[in-house]
Amino acid sequence: MDAIAELSAERGYEATKIGDIVSRAGVARKTLYDNFEGKEDVFLAAFDSAVDEVVGRIEERCDEAGEEWEERLQAGLAALLAYVAEQPAMARMCMVEAMSATPAATRHYEEAVQRFVAMTRASVPHYEQLPETIEETLVGGVAWIVHQNLRRGEAEKAEGLLGELSEFVLAPYRAVAAAR
């Protein structure tokens, strides 16, 4: 799974062949087929396990941050950015390549977005003054900023985005709270 992340980050999903994956991973072709149906299956398994890992890390950091929602949200964002800095190939595979890989990858990507939207919604205050789609657009905005960071090959600087991204996500809620 790490091999497919590295390869698709380097050359794209389509140009990544089974032969490249097995030689990068140092396993026999048969071993791959014992565990996976084929290239797409490896890709989707890697994608799903990376999303589970990120969601797990976010939840952990949020819980450490305590009760206050702004702190929790910032901790969650920090966990996401730390993952990107630590695992740039996997992050790039999930956030950049998945959108253009296969129909199933697009579906998995969409399901992951839904999870992040639901997580955000569950942790912010609910104000009827804000648009119903606010969390969807905020998550999409954060994803695009990280996407651009990965595309520029600047994953090591991802954590430097924390201040601006926190500001972007918190601003609509703070504005409503301030007006009350």
Partner 1 sequence: MERLPRGRHGLPRQFVIQNQRERLLAALAECLYKRGYESTTVAAIGKCAAVSKSDFYKHFESKEDCFLAAYEDSVARVRREVLAACDRRQRWESRVLGALEALLDLFAAEPALARLLLVEGLRAGRGVYDRYQDALQSFVPYLRDGAPTPADGAPPPPETDEAVVGGVAALLARRALADELEQLPNFLPQIGEFVLTPYLGAAEARRIISDR
Contacting positions for partner 1 (CB under 8 A):
12, 14-15, 99-103, 106, 110, 113, 129-134, 136-145, 147-148, 151, 161, 163-165, 167-168, 171-172, 175-176, 179
Measured from the CB atom, is 31 or 106 closer to partner 1?
A: 106
Measured from the CB atom, is 50 or 95 closer to partner 1?
A: 95
Q: How far is the CB of 75 from partner 1 (least distance, A)?
A: 19
Q: How far is the CB of 85 from partner 1 (least distance, A)?
A: 17
Measured from the CB atom, is 42 or 165 closer to partner 1?
A: 165
DSSP string, 23-74: HHHT--HHHHHHH-SSHHHHHHHHHHHHHHHHHHHHHHHHHHH-S-HHHHHH
Distance CA 23, CA 16 (A): 12
Measured from the CB atom, is 26 or 131 closer to partner 1?
A: 131
Q: Is 127 helix (H, G, I), strand (E, B) or coil?
A: coil
Q: How far is the CB of 12 from partner 1 (least distance, A)?
A: 5
Burial 142-162 (b: 16+ CB within 10 A, else e): bbebbbebbeeeebeebbebe
Q: How far is the CB of 49 from partner 1 (least distance, A)?
A: 23
Q: How far is the CB of 162 from partner 1 (least distance, A)?
A: 11
Distance CA 127, CA 175 (A): 11
**In Å, how far from its chain's centre is CA 14?**
21
Measured from the CB atom, is 12 or 19 closer to partner 1?
A: 12
